[in-house]
């Protein structure tokens, strides 16, 4: 019964449409416009930085994985020493130091005239408190174990700190650059949400889920920051972050996670793309303790079957660099070892045959899916298939990976990203998840720590890097590039991602 009903349009619909339109219209007009001028640097500029890692806490002695280092270290809090963008350790709050001939006693002389951002002077006793705190029960710092070699920490006077180590440690000054060893003013409230330091910025607001605002510390002892305010804005979604940059809401994005987004910014004068180096290494890891990977020929065959350049190309479109061992170029013991077991499928087959796997080999790769690991997993599958190795891919979530692979070592092979500086020494730990057990390497790693000179340490670790490569302890794929995209109006940001911090004081923005 199709009745005729052409009376009048339903008023409600019209109202709804009108309301929506009105809402839309009322919202137009307030558009953000960020002209990248060519004027002079503005000393009172606000720099807005996009980041995907919001801190879970601001407590400097909590965790190495909490995202606070990027915001706080060097900007709000400072240590006795600092790790610079090119990988060297330099003095910061310590003006200088003496080391006893046996290498176990450090006497630090503090920089004179340093105050906290609230105006109170920095005292040697506070440094002692900080250093004791990072190795206390309260601390969960990733470097707690390393720093626990400090057995005596005292302040002979207000400007001197004396640390006695239980053994000589070539890495001690490096370990002091960690966030947990950065000096914070004691007793200023909940350490999870408040922190007062001596850095060029004051932490002025943490709006959880949204942003952290740093304001220039006008009492700073050193060269003042070249901007008045830095806002870190946090995103859970990379696309949202890039859109904010495109729309002019951000001045800078600290790390691009895939080269695909670059096309939106290329050939546009208002944006600048900068490629630096990182310490973020992509690894194809096999469980050295179990068959068939306890056979060096199998491991070498896997390395020779791997076309690292093709993988790097697939993930990063030619950016980044391939690796021959566990050392990034900014670590002092870097050496180009990419010639060892380079891509050579024919000899990979021979090695497999020699190891008794002429008919091929099958194993499972557990991996946490991400843009890059998915591409790598597929690439490896195809490459290894060409030499008769069949891998089945098993995607797992983060937590499962940590439990199954990292803690219980219940896996055959995996794909993993390792971000730390100077993490070659993990090959000296037979219980580390790849279970590489070479007593010679363990001895070199231990000796490098107690070496008399940095040169000796470097020599020993070079040997380690070469030995693990010859043993094919892992299949090191490539070093991720550090790609930043910035508005062309800002300059002075660090190009590399080789430190935990992101030092923002030198950034300036043109009017």
Partner 1 sequence: MWRRSASGADRSRAGLGWLLRRIGWLLGSLVVAASAVFLLLRVLPGDPAVTLLGIGSSPEQYDAVRRQLGTDRPLLAQYVDWFGGLLTGDLGEGLFTRTPVLDQITERLPVTLPLALSAFVASALVAVPVGVLAAVRRRGLLGVVLSGLAQLGIALPVFWLGILLVWLVAVRWRLLPPGGFPRVGWRDPGGAVESLVLPVLTLTVAQASLLIRYVRSATLDVLHQDYLRTARSLGYSLPRALWRHGLRNGAAPVVNVLGVLLASSLLGTVVIESVFALPGLGTLLLSSVQARDLPVVQGTVFLMTATVLLVGLVVDVVQRLIDPRLRGRA
Q: Single out the residue of 239, 263, 266, 439 in contact with partner 1 (rule: CB under 8 A).
A: 239
d(C-alpha 159, C-alpha 181), whole Å = 17
- First-residue to last-residue Cα distance in the chain: 71
Q: Where are the alpha helices (DSSP H) in 365-485?
A: 371-385, 398-400, 439-449, 454-470
Q: How many angstroms from the chain centroid is the CA of residue 148?
A: 23
Q: Does residue number 487 form part of the binding site for partner 1 (CB under 8 A)?
A: no
Q: Does residue number 192 form part of the binding site for partner 1 (CB under 8 A)?
A: yes
Residue 149's nearest CA partner among 161, 137, 163, 128 is 163
Q: Which residues are 96's β-sheet partners?
A: 109
Q: Strand 150-157 relative to strand 389-395: parallel, antiparallel, unpaired?
A: unpaired
Residue 425's nearest CA partner among 408, 447, 407, 455 is 447
List binders of partner 1 among 142-181 (CB under 8 A). Answer: 142, 144-145
Q: Does residue number 132 form part of the binding site for partner 1 (CB under 8 A)?
A: no
CB nearer partner 1, residue 2 or residue 269 = 2
CB nearer partner 1, residue 65 or residue 362 = 65
Q: Which window, 16-24, 87-95, 301-309, 381-389, contacts partner 1 (CB under 8 A)?
A: 16-24
d(C-alpha 431, C-alpha 57), whole Å = 30
List binders of partner 1 among 349-408 (CB under 8 A). Answer: 397-400, 402-403, 406-407
What are the backbone dihedrals phi and psi of residue 107, each rounded to the nearest 5 degrees, phi first?
A: -115, 110
d(C-alpha 366, C-alpha 400), whole Å = 10
d(C-alpha 131, C-alpha 161), whole Å = 10
Q: Does residue number 223 form part of the binding site for partner 1 (CB under 8 A)?
A: no
Element (H, E) at 478: strand 475-479
For residues 423 to 462, the per-residue mask of contacts with partner 1, x marking binding by CB under 8 A and - elsewhere, is: x--x------x-----------------------------
- Rounded to a whole number of angstroms, the minimum distance from the CB of residue 34 to partner 1 is 10
Cβ(229)–Cβ(75) under 8 Å? Answer: no
d(C-alpha 120, C-alpha 217), whole Å = 13
SS3 assignment for 404-415: HHHHCCCCCEEE
CB nearer partner 1, residue 139 or residue 217 = 139
Q: Which window, 236-244, 268-276, 434-442, 471-479, contacts partner 1 (CB under 8 A)?
A: 236-244
Tokens 């990379």 label which residue? Answer: 238
Q: Which window, 51-59, 321-329, 354-362, 454-462, contacts partner 1 (CB under 8 A)?
A: 51-59
Tokens matching residue 277: 């180096």
CB nearer partner 1, residue 102 or residue 192 = 192
3-state secondary structure of 162: strand
- Rounded to a whole number of angstroms, the minimum distance from the CB of residue 233 to partner 1 is 7
The 10 Å Cβ neighbour count of residue 106 is 22
Q: Does residue number 42 form part of the binding site for partner 1 (CB under 8 A)?
A: no
CB nearer partner 1, residue 108 or residue 433 = 433
Q: Does residue number 209 form part of the binding site for partner 1 (CB under 8 A)?
A: yes
- Rounded to a whole number of angstroms, the minimum distance from the CB of residue 354 to partner 1 is 34
- Rounded to a whole number of angstroms, the minimum distance from the CB of residue 269 to partner 1 is 17
- Rounded to a whole number of angstroms, the minimum distance from the CB of residue 463 to partner 1 is 22
User: How far is residue 441 from each of residues 195, 303, 425, 435, 467, measured CA to CA in Å?
Assistant: 41, 20, 9, 13, 7
Q: Single out the residue of 132, 151, 207, 408 in contact with partner 1 (rule: CB under 8 A).
A: 207
d(C-alpha 302, C-alpha 471), whole Å = 12
List binders of partner 1 among 65-124 (CB under 8 A). Answer: 65-66
Q: Single out the residue of 56, 160, 394, 491 in contact with partner 1 (rule: CB under 8 A).
A: 56
Q: Which window, 133-141, 166-174, 271-279, 436-444, contacts partner 1 (CB under 8 A)?
A: 133-141
- Rounded to a whole number of angstroms, the minimum distance from the CB of residue 44 to partner 1 is 17
Size of the site for partner 1 (CB under 8 A): 74
Tokens matching residue 374: 């998915």
Q: Does residue number 232 form part of the binding site for partner 1 (CB under 8 A)?
A: no
Q: Per-residue b/e over 223-259, b at no fewer than 16 CB within 10 Å? A: eebbbbbbbbbbbeebeebbbbbbebebbbbbbbbbb
Tokens 């107690």 label which residue? Answer: 450
Strands (E), 33-104: 46-51, 81-83, 89-91, 94-99
Q: Single out the residue of 20, 96, 382, 392 in contact with partner 1 (rule: CB under 8 A).
A: 20
List binders of partner 1 among 244-273 (CB under 8 A). Answer: 244, 246-249
- Rounded to a whole number of angstroms, the minimum distance from the CB of residue 98 to partner 1 is 31
Tokens matching residue 439: 């007593």
Cα angle value 303/309/313 (rounded, 5°): 135
Tokens matching residue 68: 């606070």
- Rounded to a whole number of angstroms, the minimum distance from the CB of residue 351 to partner 1 is 30
CB nearer partner 1, residue 475 or residue 500 = 500
- Rounded to a whole number of angstroms, the minimum distance from the CB of residue 244 to partner 1 is 5
Q: Which window, 82-90, 113-121, 137-145, 458-466, contacts partner 1 (CB under 8 A)?
A: 137-145
- Rounded to a whole number of angstroms, the minimum distance from the CB of residue 56 to partner 1 is 4
Q: Does residue number 237 form part of the binding site for partner 1 (CB under 8 A)?
A: yes
- Rounded to a whole number of angstroms, the minimum distance from the CB of residue 133 to partner 1 is 14
Residue 495's nearest CA partner among 203, 276, 234, 295 is 276
Q: Single out the residue of 63, 87, 200, 324 in contact with partner 1 (rule: CB under 8 A).
A: 63
- Rounded to a whole number of angstroms, the minimum distance from the CB of residue 217 to partner 1 is 20
CB nearer partner 1, residue 32 or residue 267 = 32
């Amino acid at each position: 019964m199709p009745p005729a009903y052409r009376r009048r349009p339903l008023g409600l619909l019209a109202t709804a449409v009108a309301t929506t339109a009105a809402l839309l219209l009322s919202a137009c007009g307030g558009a953000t416009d960020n002209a990248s001028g060519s004027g002079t640097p503005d000393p009172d500029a606000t720099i807005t930085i996009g980041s995907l890692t919001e801190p879970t806490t601001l407590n400097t002695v909590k965790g190495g994985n909490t995202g606070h280092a990027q915001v706080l270290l060097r900007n709000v809090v400072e240590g006795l020493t600092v790790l610079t963008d090119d990988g060297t350790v330099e003095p910061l709050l310590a003006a200088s130091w003496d080391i006893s001939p046996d290498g176990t006693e450090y006497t630090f002389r503090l920089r004179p005239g340093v105050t906290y951002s609230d105006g109170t002077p920095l005292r040697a006793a506070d440094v002692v408190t900080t250093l004791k705190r990072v190795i206390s029960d309260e601390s969960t710092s990733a470097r707690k174990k390393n720093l626990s070699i400090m057995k005596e920490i005292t302040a002979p006077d207000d400007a001197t700190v004396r640390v006695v180590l239980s053994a000589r440690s070539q890495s001690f000054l490096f370990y002091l650059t960690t966030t947990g060893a950065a000096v914070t003013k004691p007793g200023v409230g909940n350490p999870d949400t408040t922190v007062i330091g001596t850095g060029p910025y004051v932490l002025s607001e943490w709006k959880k889920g949204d942003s952290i605002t740093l304001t220039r510390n006008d009492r700073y002892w050193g060269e003042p920051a070249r901007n008045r305010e830095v806002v870190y804005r946090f995103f859970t979604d990379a696309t949202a972050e890039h859109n904010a940059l495109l729309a002019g809401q951000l001045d800078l994005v600290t790390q691009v996670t895939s080269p695909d987004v670059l096309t939106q910014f290329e050939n546009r004068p208002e944006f600048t793309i900068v490629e630096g180096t990182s310490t973020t290494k992509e690894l194809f890891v096999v469980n050295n303790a179990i068959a068939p990977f306890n056979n060096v020929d199998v491991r070498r065959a896997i390395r020779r079957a791997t076309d690292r350049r093709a993988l790097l190309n697939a993930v990063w479109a030619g950016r980044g660099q391939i690796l021959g061992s566990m050392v990034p170029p900014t670590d002092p013991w870097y050496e180009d070892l990419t010639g060892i077991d380079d891509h050579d499928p024919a000899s990979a087959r021979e090695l497999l045959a020699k190891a008794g796997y002429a008919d091929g080999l099958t194993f499972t790769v557990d991996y946490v899916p991400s843009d890059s690991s998915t591409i790598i997993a597929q690439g490896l599958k195809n490459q290894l298939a060409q030499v008769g190795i069949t891998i089945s891919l098993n995607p797992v979530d983060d937590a499962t990976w940590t439990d199954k692979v990292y803690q219980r070592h219940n896996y055959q092979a995996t794909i993993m990203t390792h971000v730390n500086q100077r993490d070659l020494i993990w090959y000296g730990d037979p219980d580390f998840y790849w279970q590489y057990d070479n007593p010679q390497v363990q001895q070199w790693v231990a000796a490098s720590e107690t070496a008399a000179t940095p040169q000796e340490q470097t020599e020993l670790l070079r040997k380690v890097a070469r030995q693990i490569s010859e043993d094919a302890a892992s299949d090191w794929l490539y070093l991720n590039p550090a790609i930043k995209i910035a508005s062309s109006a800002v300059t002075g940001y660090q190009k590399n991602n080789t430190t935990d911090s992101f030092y923002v004081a030198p950034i300036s923005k043109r009017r």
